[in-house]
Amino acid sequence: MIAEIGKLTDGYIVKFEREFPYTVEEVWSVLTENSKLKKWMSNLQIESLKTGGIIKFDMMDGSFINIDILECQLNSVLEFTWDKDRVRFEIYKEENGTLLLLKEYIHELTDHTPRDVAGWHICLNLFSCVLEGEEKEFSKNEWQQWFEIYKGKIHEVRG
């Protein structure tokens, strides 16, 4: 599913929704257990899973950036800083499984924004694969296709 991109009073929001035929606990484990996290977002490693905790972002050049966890509620919410912005995952139990929401709160849309959004799109596809017990690589070709789509969507929102 393609992300919704909208204007807020103090910036913008990018919202992804994914429904999974898995339990809240299974979805939470893929989101927060490092052995599973690295299969869909290889740059991230959770150091301390709690509000006020730290996620390490591997720059892939030998250096790391600390990401602050702003909110962590077991099996429910994980929110953290993302450069000058915020990323929030919310998990909801549904009749036939679980709803995962990914919201990125962006203070300013830039030429880099569609790159990030396309990246999140591919990562969520990989997230689904991890839940299904599959492992896939990040596809640059698929990313390029989504980048072009999101570049157009963001251009529309910017006006």
Average pLDDT over residues 6-22: 97
- In this structure, what DSSP letter does residue 96 have? T
| Structure tokens given for 28 | 């939470």
| Structure tokens given for 48 | 């301390």
The predicted pLDDT at position 1 comes to: 86
pLDDT at 159 over 80: no
pLDDT at 49 over 80: yes
The domains of the chain, with CATH numbers, are 4-158 (3.30.530.20)
The predicted pLDDT at position 158 comes to: 87
Whole-number average pLDDT of the chain:
97
Name which of 99, 82, 81 is nearest 90 in CA terms.
99
Q: Compute the distance between CA of residue 79 and CA of residue 32 in angstroms, rounded to an integer.
A: 11
Digit-coded pLDDT (tens) for 101-149: 999 999 999 999 999 999 999 999 999 999 999 999 999 999 999 999 9
The percentage of residues in the chain with a pLDDT greater than 70, rounded to a whole number, is 100
Alpha helical stretches, state H, 54-134 = 113-131
Could you list the beta-strand ranges (E) of 32-147: 44-46, 54-58, 64-73, 77-82, 85-94, 97-106
> In which band, very low, low, confident or very high, does the pLDDT at 45 lie, cut at 50, 70 and 90?
very high
The predicted pLDDT at position 11 comes to: 97
pTM of structure: 0.96
Name which of 14, 33, 118 is nearest 78 in CA terms.
33
Q: Compute the distance between CA of residue 53 and CA of residue 44 in angstroms, rounded to an integer.
A: 13
